[in-house]
Chain A
Amino acid sequence: MNTITATRAEYSVVACAEAWRDAGEILASPMGTVPSIGARLAKLTFSPDLLLTDGEALLMGDVPALGAPSGVTEGWLPYRQHLALVASGRRHVMMGASQLDRYGNQNISCIGDWDRPKRQLLGVRGAPVNTLNNPTSYWVPRHSTRVFVEKVDMVSGVGYDRAAAAGPSATRYHRIPEVISDLGVFDFETPDRTMRLRSLHPGVTVGQVQEATGFALTIPDDVPYTRAPTAEELRLIRDVIDPKGLREREVPSA
């Protein structure tokens, strides 16, 4: 087994894991399969201090395989404590996004006019409280112009422009470290806090990313590739964290 054979899903896992590097003793809240594998990988390697939940009210004292029950509980985190933890900032959540714009405004509420939506989705859920209180990254398993849009229909997660317009109480703890998709890694390290391509997953071209994005991205002159998983990371992903290969269902190999 060597790193050259890593799949697109496995590059995505490593990119997600990197979001929690040096995060310290905080709760990692991954939503989706690939981010869940990434958070567990980070905990088993370079971020051992992370806290992880079982998806409901318990903090796991071990790192079980995806879908397997946790054998050790180290803490209790029912919803109201979870919301208090969000407000404390000691959490980095990676949410999904039905729509995402260049400033990082995210929509999971509905598509079309809010008064009478064409398609009702989940609702804003905790996106407003998340984005104003703890670092919030996004995971998009299928990068397309349907998700990466010029303007989102209902701002659920707050982006950089909207936070700035809302004033210092909104910007105080607001941070969107990263957007990770099946094509690459993106951030907002630009003067006007619009989205920038940070790295491409191997096999992906800049043109492909631009084609799948509904707004103009900042593209640096030299775009690096997303780092490859090490042999040990690949072993952990394949044999320990996701032996059933659920990652390949979320990001199928071409």
Chain B
Amino acid sequence: MTRDKTMPADAVVARLTSGMTLGIGGWGSRRKPMALVRALLRSDLTDFTVVSYGGPDVGLLAAAGKIRRLVTAFGTLDSVPLEPHFCAARQRGDFELTELDEAMVMWGLTAAAHRLPFMPIRAGLGSDVMTVNPGLRTVTSPYEDGEELVAVPALRLDAALVHLNRVDAQGNGQYLGPDPYFDDLFCQAADAAYVSCERVVDTAELLKDQGPQSLLVKRAFVTGVVESPNGAHFTSCAPDYDRDEAFQRAYVRAAKDPEAWPAFAERFLSGDEHSYQTAVAAFHEESA
């Protein structure tokens, strides 16, 4: 067990190409791989199909014009119900949308992880999800019930980006918060998965204080490990830290004001991850 998969965030970006289908883990404004998203923002890569339970990951990539198609059920910041960049980009018609129910997204990822073409689900029938996705098909049960259900197509990903609390250098990933979200599914549905984390630890340390159920992602599904403390900021990464509500509010204010956004982006997003974290610390000192 000597394969060291650790790499800097920019090395992850170097392995991606424009036009790829990217799955992004977390949920809304919870445990998003924001440091990896910020690395994408610094790159020239574009034209992505993004599959996400949408939060500021979607908002920032949309604001930067990097999304060609979005596959999602929503865009939210949790404590702020609507993701402002997601809303604005939709209203401008900046990207194509595959709008699915959140259970359909889970089933699409599950089908991809199981190498199945689709999974059957009741959700979607009767709703306009069927209208706005004319490619969606139904399937009839071959058993006596004869039920007609939606066949959610597999959401196979070129790459997955997720953020966890602890990972060893080989890619065994551990979550310490209350919800795994769908991060393991994202990794299994992808040809390559990149896991950022709060801390890279020795394998022996993973279960020092935790049960084996906390081991969410297996190294066989992981291509790269990025140590990125505070890397989910400003989303939550319990129990390491909660959502930075003050910063999220500042993000929302700037995102809602086309004249304020360039200054916000310049202040926080023009440099590397270190300068981002430094600018965030300065932001809190100012408002303290």
Contact = CB atoms under 8 A, between A and B. Distances in A.
Contact of A79 (B93, B99, B129, B182): B182
Interface stretch (A15-23, A157-165, A188-196): A157-165
B122 A170 contact: yes
Contacts of B73: 123-126
B86 A128 contact: no
B180 interface: yes
Contact of A58 (B27, B99, B178, B180): B178
A79 B27 contact: yes
A167 B148 contact: yes
Interface string A142-181: 0000000000001111100011011111101110000000
Interface stretch (A42-50, A109-117, A211-219): A109-117
A155 B91 contact: no
B124 A128 contact: yes
Contacts of A174: 126
Nearest to B141: A169
B103 A83 contact: yes
A131 B103 CA distance: 12
B99 A169 contact: no
Contacts of A154: 128, 132
A119 B84 CA distance: 11
A157 B126 CA distance: 9
Contacts of A173: 122
A124 B53 CA distance: 12
Contacts of B81: 122
Place the interface of chain A in its size category: 35 or more
A129 B74 contact: no
Contacts of A79: 27, 102, 106, 179, 181-182
Interface string B33-61: 00000000000000000000010000000
Contacts of B82: 120-122
Contacts of A163: 125-126
Most buried by B among A109, A121, A122, A128: A128
Contact of A169 (B131, B132, B148): B148
B75 interface: yes
Most buried by B among A119, A123, A127, A165: A123
Interface in B105-148: 106, 121-129, 131-132, 147-148
Contacts of B182: 79-80
Contacts of A118: 91
Interface string B56-96: 00000000000000001111100001100011101101000
Contacts of B245: none
Given A117-B91, A155-B127, A156-B127, A126 B101 contact: yes
A129 B126 contact: no
Contact of A124 (B93, B99, B125, B181): B99
Contacts of A133: 122-123
A83 B148 contact: no
Contacts of B27: 79
B104 interface: yes
Contact of A78 (B90, B122, B179): B179
Most buried by A among B106, B121, B123, B181: B123
B126 A87 contact: no
Given A122-B74, A126-B73, A167 B102 contact: no
B91 A120 contact: yes
A57 interface: yes
A127 B129 CA distance: 10
Interface of B: 27, 54, 72-76, 81-82, 86-88, 90-91, 93, 99-104, 106, 121-129, 131-132, 147-149, 178-182
Closest 8 CB pairs of A and B: A123-B74, A129-B123, A166-B126, A120-B90, A128-B101, A57-B178, A158-B126, A120-B87
5 contacts: A114-B132, A120-B90, A129-B123, A131-B127, A158-B127
Given A123-B76, A167-B125, A167-B148, 18 more contacts: A57-B178, A83-B106, A115-B93, A118-B91, A120-B75, A120-B88, A122-B81, A123-B73, A124-B128, A125-B74, A127-B101, A128-B127, A128-B129, A129-B102, A133-B122, A155-B128, A158-B127, A163-B126
